[in-house]
Structure 1
Amino acid sequence: MKRILIATALAAAAVAAQAQYTGPSTVPAATVKSLQAQGKDDQPAVLRGQIVSQVGDELYSFDDGTGQMRVKIKHKLWPAGQPVGATTKVELTGEYDKDWVGEPKFKVRQVRVL
């Protein structure tokens, strides 16, 4: 009986760890086109569109209809139990990463399926 209670408590803690805030944000919505044209390094933003392909470990191609951009999504950020395909609409919260060398990308802090 004690093992069942411990297992239940651990399962509940794991579910609570997966919870994420889904309310309003003060971070402005942006487009790939606007970030590429006027984005500043480490600028917070929200992108809405589709993740169209995986191009590397934790690196994906994102398309919002105005253009495409590489996005970095850590494995632990994917929403549990919600599969994401090339046609799934998502909202990505994070920051624009404009390095001195290489292609700019978007570092994702939260993935939300719309």
Structure 2
Amino acid sequence: MKRSYLALLVLPLFASAAFANGGYSGPSAKMPVNTAAEASAARDDEKVVLEGRIVKQLRSDLYEFKDATGSITVEIDDDLWPMAAISERNQVRLVGEVDREVFDRQIDVDHIELIN
């Protein structure tokens, strides 16, 4: 009798450990935000993949990003910049997430890629 109770207590621990290293890795039902206009209205921590141009530097790691729908502030850490120089004429792809502040939203960039 004690063994069956012990088995019932230990079994969930083994079951949860089996799922800790795996899980679903396919596509998500929720697509990432793809435009500056959508990003300006998106929730905090929402994933974004933006394509457009970085048109100017606002402060040390803050830049203005612009696409066909509008513009939004993006934060790009120094170590994320690719080896090639990027100017306002270059098309880039930014991958990151929305960082919603009290009065504004900006994109915290995780990866930057030169497209052209």
Letter paired with 1:32: A
1:52-94 deviations in Å (ceiling 9; x for gaps):
00000100000011001000000000001x1100010000000
How far residue 29 of structure 1 moved from its aligned partner, in angstroms, is 5.0
Unaligned runs of at least 5 residues, structure 1: 1-24
Structure 1 segments of 4 or more deviating over 4 A? none
Aligned to 2:67: 64
Report the Cα distance in structure 2 between the residues aligned to 1:31 and 1:79, rounded to whole angstroms: 22
| Aligned counterpart, 2:91 | 89
TM-score norm. by structure 2 comes to: 0.70
Aligned mates of 1:35, 1:93 — CA distance in 2: 12
1:34 pairs with one of 33, 38, 45: 38
Find the residue that maps to 1:108 and give its secondary structure.
strand
Q: Determine which structure has more spread, i.e. the larger CA radius of gyration.
A: 2
Alpha-carbon RMSD: 1.6
1:3-42 matched pairs, under 5 angstroms: 28=32, 30-37=34-41, 39-42=42-45
SS of the residue corresponding to residue 74 of structure 2 reads: strand
Q: How much identity, in percent, do the aligned residues show?
A: 33
The one-letter amino acid of 1:107's match is D
